[in-house]
Amino acid sequence: MHGVLALVVASEEAEVTAKNPILPETKEIVWAVVAFVLVFSLLAWKAWPAIKKALRDREDKIRGDLERAEAVRSEAEASLEEYNQQLAEARGEAGRIIEEARVAADQVRKDLIARAEADAADVRTRAQEDIRLASDRAIADLQTRVSDLSIELAERIVQRNLDRDTQIALIESYINEVGGTRR
């Protein structure tokens, strides 16, 4: 029994002396709190202003970048508006040039037609004049031939020669008679 009792006493002592694996000892907790307060104070005193300054600088940089981006966007929109305006002006100018070219082409066509009609009228006039001259020459040649034939015929009929002036007078009166009945 003695052995059992010793075991029970030993087990009770062992339970009292065993440490809690979750909770540290009190002096460790005190030193940890003191170290935390010192490190926190040192960080709050030295590091926190630097961190705040870095964050403020970053915020200012981001704000500046946003403002520059907004300015660039506004400038791009203004450039786009200017480009669209120039494009509209160029389209209007192109339309005006095309219209002027069409009007000029119409005018050239009308001028060419007028010149061709004038040339055709000139050709007709010259052709009519040539026809009239050819007709006059043919009539003159015919009158000369008729005169000669008339003289020959008259010589044969009369069997004698008439003088030249009498023959010409006789032929002209005959031609005038024949010409008068034709016209």
Q: pLDDT value at position 84? A: 94
Q: pLDDT value at position 62? A: 95
pLDDT in tens, 69-107: 999 999 999 999 999 999 999 999 999 999 999 999 999
Across all residues in the chain, what is the average pLDDT? 84
Strands (E) across 1-154 are located at none
Contact 151, 171 (CB under 8 A): yes
Where on the phi/psi map is residue 159: left (φ > 0), alpha (ψ -120 to 50), or beta?
left
Query: Within 10 A of 171 (CB to CB), how many other CB atoms are there?
Result: 19
Round to whole Å and give the CA distance between 13 and 90: 104
Contact 171, 146 (CB under 8 A): yes
Average pLDDT over residues 5-10: 55
Residue 108 confidence (pLDDT) above 70: yes
**Residue listed under structure tokens 């300054």:** 53
Residue 141 confidence (pLDDT) above 80: yes
